[in-house]
Amino acid sequence: MKKEDLNKFIFAGAFVLLGIMLFNSFFVFSVGSKLSTKIEEAKELARPAELGLIKIESSCSDCFDIDEVVKVLKDSSDIEIVKEKSLLRNSENAIKIINNYGIEKLPTIVLAGEIEKASIQNFKQVDDVLVFMNIVAPYEDAITKKIMGKVSSIMINDKNCEVCTDFSLAINNLKQDGVFIDKEEEFDFSQTKAKELIDKFSIEKLPALLLSDNIDAYPSIAQSLKQTASKKQNYYVIESQAPYVETGNGKIRGLVDLSMLDDSTCLECYDVEIHKSILARFALAIDEEEKVDISSEKGKQSISKYDIESAPTIILTGDLEVYDNFNIVWPQVGTVEDDGAYVFRTINSMGIGIVYKDISTGEIKGLSPTTPTGQSS
């Protein structure tokens, strides 16, 4: 190869090599630049949002504890509180913030700064800030300054009615559901104050429970109350269902006697006492109960008087008319006799496999074909 051709070859090779080097340099720079950008973007995403926190306090010492929310925010790895300020609700700055952002409940928290980076539960964006919204009662109404959700309760009982409803259980349930009971009062029917309240709220049945309408600050509970209680003045009034005491005459209503007719010779027959657990579902107040064998004189009299065809069964007597729900169901399973007695008759309604005796024939019914009988006819 001539020297001149060799020089041309070397020059061409060098040019190609230079091109490759330039391409590699550009590619590496381009990839490195994109990678660097991605790394910076990842760092920015990972960086906690820098926020300023303003706590607007309330004068109510029993109200919602906003400091618990502050603690949760400070413990979060997603945000960094770089500035913190507490304001009294009557301060000029607090009033300005309340008005500017339509704040309705106190105490509360307002967050400002990098709110677009922050995703925090229970906060709502209002213009250029985040406002804490999940304030539960009791709280201070930011506009009226009234404390909402501090509930007063009044129970009126009758110490002579041992079977009547105990509304203290309802009070305890309300407390467990988060209702703040600020004041509790209890009076007996015999007391002058009780009679004044009975007249003031036109109460006809005792026990009665009165709850101040501050309970409206608990929406789900208030909704339930509106279905079961009457609103009178500034209270929800709940009067007892049966058994109860009539305030007009002091009479206890809803006392019931239970007579269980059984057959001691029918070992396979169902246990008549099952009826007691069924009756308990309707809150019947059993005053007296007895178990009567169908072979006894009293048993025979009941069978004859009410034309009873099968046993075991039950007979209910007493003040049954005051049990509304029970009286809706009873016609499906029994009869109401001329003397007011309720006689259970539809044994098959108790379910499959119930064994009983046909009194007129002595036949045991409900047994499977392979089940031996231990009864003598």
3-state secondary structure the chain: CCHHHHHHHHHHHHHHHHHHHHHHHHHHHHHHHHHHHHHHHHHHHHCCEEEEEEEEECCCCCCCCHHHHHHHHHHCCCEEEEEEEEEECCCHHHHHHHHHCCCCEECEEEEEECHHHCCCCCEEEECCEEEECCCCCCEEECCCCCEECEEEEEEEECCCCCCCCCCHHHHHHHHHCCCEEEEEEEEECCCHHHHHHHHHCCCCEECEEEEEHHHHHCHHHHHHHHHHCEEECCEEEEECCCCEEECCCCCEECEEEEEEEECCCCCCCCCCCHHHHHHHCCCCEEEEEEEEECCCHHHHHHHHHHCCCEECEEEEEECCCCCHHHHHHHHHCEEECCCCCEEECCHHHHCCCCCEEECCCCCEECCCCCCCCCCCC
pLDDT at residue 117, as a whole number: 87
User: Lowest-pLDDT range, 179-183, 266-270, 336-340, 366-370?
Assistant: 366-370
> Among candidates 251, 205, 245, which has minimal Cα distance to 229?
205
What does the pLDDT average to over 302-330? Answer: 97
Amino acid at site 137 = A
pLDDT at residue 366, as a whole number: 85
What does the pLDDT average to over 310-321? Answer: 97
Structure tokens at 22: 């330039």
Q: How confident is the model at residue 253 (pLDDT cuts 50, 70, 90)?
A: very high
Query: What percent of the chain has a predicted confidence (pLDDT) above 90?
Result: 80
Q: How confident is the model at residue 367 (pLDDT cuts 50, 70, 90)?
A: confident
Tell whether the model's pLDDT for residue 113 goes beyond 80.
yes
Q: How far is CA 91 from CA 95, 98, 251, in A?
A: 6, 11, 59
pLDDT at residue 282, as a whole number: 95
pLDDT at residue 333, as a whole number: 96
Please give the mean pLDDT across all residues of the chain: 89
Domain boundaries, the chain: 49-141, 149-246, 254-365
User: What are the tens digits of pLDDT across the range 73-89?
Assistant: 999 988 999 999 999 99
User: Lowest-pLDDT range, 37-41, 115-119, 192-196?
Assistant: 37-41
147 phi/psi in degrees, rounded to 5? -80, 125
Residue with the bigger pLDDT between 115 and 37: it is 115
Q: How confident is the model at residue 377 (pLDDT cuts 50, 70, 90)?
A: very low
What does the pLDDT average to over 344-350? Answer: 91
Q: Do domains 49-141 and 149-246 have the same CATH topology?
A: yes
Q: How confident is the model at residue 375 (pLDDT cuts 50, 70, 90)?
A: very low
Tell the residue number behind the tokens 């109404």, with chain if given.
141
Q: How far apart are alpha carbons 286 and 242 in whole angstroms?
A: 12
Q: How confident is the model at residue 189 (pLDDT cuts 50, 70, 90)?
A: very high
Please identify, in words, the CATH class of the domain defined by 49-141. Answer: alpha beta
User: What are the tens digits of pLDDT across the range 16-54?
Assistant: 565 666 555 555 555 555 656 666 555 656 689 999 999
User: Lowest-pLDDT range, 9-23, 47-61, 184-198, 281-295?
Assistant: 9-23
CATH of region 254-365: 3.40.30
pLDDT at residue 180, as a whole number: 97
Please identify, in words, the CATH class of the domain defined by 149-246. Answer: alpha beta
pLDDT at residue 376, as a whole number: 40
pLDDT at residue 112, as a whole number: 95
Tell whether the model's pLDDT for residue 373 goes beyond 80.
no
